[in-house]
Amino acid sequence: QHGVDVLADAHSRAARKLLQAVEVTKRTLSAAPAAPCAVESLAAGADYNASINRTRFDILAKAAYAPLQAAIDDALRAAGYSADQIDQVLLCGGAARVRRLQAAVAARFPAATRVRDDAGELDEVVAAGCAAQAALIAQGAVPPQQPDAFGVAARVLAAPVGLRISADCLEPVLLKNTPLPAARTVRVALPAGETRAYVAVSEGEPVPPRADASDDEADASDDDDEADEAASEPDLPPRYRPSRLLAEMVLELDAATDATRVDVEFFVGTDAKLTVTATEPASGKSITAEIPASS
């Protein structure tokens, strides 16, 4: 309708907004026969509004169910079990309550196998499963697996990235070893009357802690009061300092007020490309910088 391809590389932020809205729609369809999908100012100032019913959703998602059956077979084979030996199947994650998906999973197991979707949040289910498996190993009920038996190669962030506050101070937004993809948003205040928001993005490195003062300097006399002791303590150094400047941006604004804020969104994809977008929500003005992965 508007001639804008939100899935193109030039509209990566719009694509992420659409994916978030689609996730909400998918969850709504788990409990309702139809659901809207709406995104305000998706791209080029245009809003997106649509709706979909559960039948249409199932038709579109049908292609995703066949790989799931193969994944179940692979998991059973790797564990050395047959489908008849499984008492319960716990579904967790964003699609756990999609009814057609539940039916596809249940069809792979006998009727006596209970398929549940009430296990809780994904991170809680994984943690509980790990604890249960560790208890079985500790009791000798199951043999421990080799360390690399289920090894997964996950790409992580090689160095912390954040906002360069000064030559000696970095405010980290994404820390080293953060699993990718990852996204974080920070909100920055501006001085009243400011017409430009300067954003400097940098990699960082930890700042070594300062050496403690000598015992003679640290020991104060009994007559010194606590206020004097607090005043004599040196300021703590910042936790991180900039190591490599990645990008600089200037967002032109109307004169800022005390309430003016700028949202700075960091997104790193699985290809390690960093996209930083600074947006002033009140006016909708924004600017984006893309930093390719380091070689």
pLDDT (average), residues 215-221: 48
pLDDT band at residue 152 using 50, 70 and 90 as cut-offs: low
- Indicate whether 238 pLDDT > 60: no
Q: What is the pLDDT of residue 10?
A: 64
Nearest to 104 by CA among 76, 66, 61: 66
pLDDT (average), residues 163-191: 89
Q: What is the pLDDT of residue 78?
A: 87
pLDDT band at residue 12 using 50, 70 and 90 as cut-offs: confident
Rg, the chain, Cα only: 26
Top mean-pLDDT range of 20-29, 53-62, 194-203: 194-203
- Indicate whether 56 pLDDT > 70: yes
- Indicate whether 144 pLDDT > 80: no
- Indicate whether 246 pLDDT > 90: yes
Least confident of 64-73, 113-122, 216-225, 280-289: 216-225
- Indicate whether 204 pLDDT > 80: yes
pLDDT (average), residues 125-147: 75
- Indicate whether 242 pLDDT > 70: yes
